[in-house]
Amino acid sequence: MKVGFIGLGNMGAAAARNVRRAGFDLYVYDIRREAGEALEAEGATWCDSPADMVSRVDVVMSMVFGPSQIEQVVRGPGGLLEGECSSRTWIDLTTSTPALMRELAREFEAAGGAAVDAPVTGSIDSCIRGDMIQFVGGADQTVARVQPVLDAVGITRRVGGYGNGYVAKLVNNQHYDSSFRLALCLKDLGLIDQFLDEVQHAERAHPCCPRPIRGSCRPLPRRCRRDDRVQGDRGRRRRGAPGGR
């Protein structure tokens, strides 16, 4: 199977490398030509545009900065919709707004393709290891067809139909931000060690609980937390829910 990867930042390059290590023929693209050089040296094939890529592969994966960038990947000059989309599957790992992504997916499907959303959560270390969480939405048969590709990138959490992955990721971001604020308050009160002891006691009693490790929590870069909250706020405004800014 030929797999293309668009977006070769730190996370994207690591995920793309795992796709190649899993045995897939890898094709790569980034707006920065130099971003693909290391992967090319490892055997990947460079594509001149998303349109060029989708015309040459079976599956396209994208991991870019946010909504504006992914819209350019799909609709912009040289975007996916200008290529041969028939019988192709597009897997998007970007954190974006569900409304926009559902629009883009409909356009890709109207061109003959199939879409899966799989936004990810995790650190660069988990990305390198290939065990970051993917919130995966899409038709069952489509997801089943590309499951080996998803497995190369991380751990799948199925959340229903297309678009639900973006919703789950934004909910996860809001939960993370609230949990981080709570941890800061407990630290200021001198209660963080007691709190972690209680959580670890609960973990031993209930193995399905998350596994916090004392001293391992590192906050996301402020810019990333801000951008993820902005996406959540925009989604709330579209639904008429409180909390938008």
Q: What is the pLDDT of residues 41-85, one digit of tens each?
A: 999 999 999 999 999 999 999 999 999 999 999 999 999 999 999
Examine the domain organization and report whether 190 and 156 are in the same domain: no
Quick one: which of 138, 99, 103 has its CA closest to 117?
138
pTM for the model stands at 0.74
Q: Do 40 and 103 lie in a common domain?
A: yes
Give the pLDDT band of residue 208 (cuts 50, 70, 90): very low
Residue 133 is predicted with a pLDDT of 92
Q: Residue 124: is its pLDDT beyond 90?
A: yes
- 80 and 115, same domain (yes or no): yes
How many domains are contained in the chain? 2
Are residues 44 and 93 both part of a single domain?
yes
Position 215 scores a pLDDT of 42
Residue 97, domain extent: 2-162
55 & 119 share domain = yes
Same domain for 154 and 197? no
Q: What angle do CA 64, 69, 73 make, to 5 degrees?
A: 90
Q: Does residue 145 register a pLDDT over 70?
A: yes
Q: Roughly what angle, to the nearest 10 degrees, separates helices 10-21 and 140-153?
A: 100
pLDDT for 13 = 98
Task: For 55, list phi and psi in degrees, rounded to 5.
Answer: -80, -10
Cα angle 160-234-179, degrees, rounded to a multiple of 5: 75
Is the sign of the CA dihedral 3, 6, 11, 17 positive or negative? Answer: positive
pLDDT score recorded for residue 240: 46
Query: What pLDDT does 167 receive?
Result: 87
**Are 122 and 198 found together in one domain?**
no
Residue 151 and residue 99 share a domain: yes
Residue where one domain finishes, among candidates 146, 162, 178: 162
Could you tell me the sign of the dihedral formed by the alpha carbons of 105, 106, 110, 114, in that order? positive
**In angstroms, rounded to a whole number, what is the distance separating the alpha carbons of residues 240 and 65?**
26
Q: Which of 107, 128, 162 is the last residue of a domain?
A: 162
198 and 157 share a domain?
no
pLDDT at 72: 98
241 against 32, higher pLDDT = 32
Whether residue 168 is predicted with pLDDT greater than 60 in this model: the reply is yes
Identity of the amino acid at 3:
V
Closest CA to 60 of 89, 18, 28: 89
Domain stops at, among 128, 162, 196? 162
What is the model's pLDDT at position 49?
98
Question: 23 vs 123, which has greater pLDDT?
Answer: 23
Average pLDDT value over all residues in the chain: 83
Q: State whether 90 and 190 are in the same domain.
A: no
Q: Are residues 133 and 106 in the same domain?
A: yes
- Domain assignment of residue 103, yes or no: yes
The CA-based dihedral angle spanning residues 114, 19, 122, 101, taken in that order and rounded to the nearest 10 degrees = -20
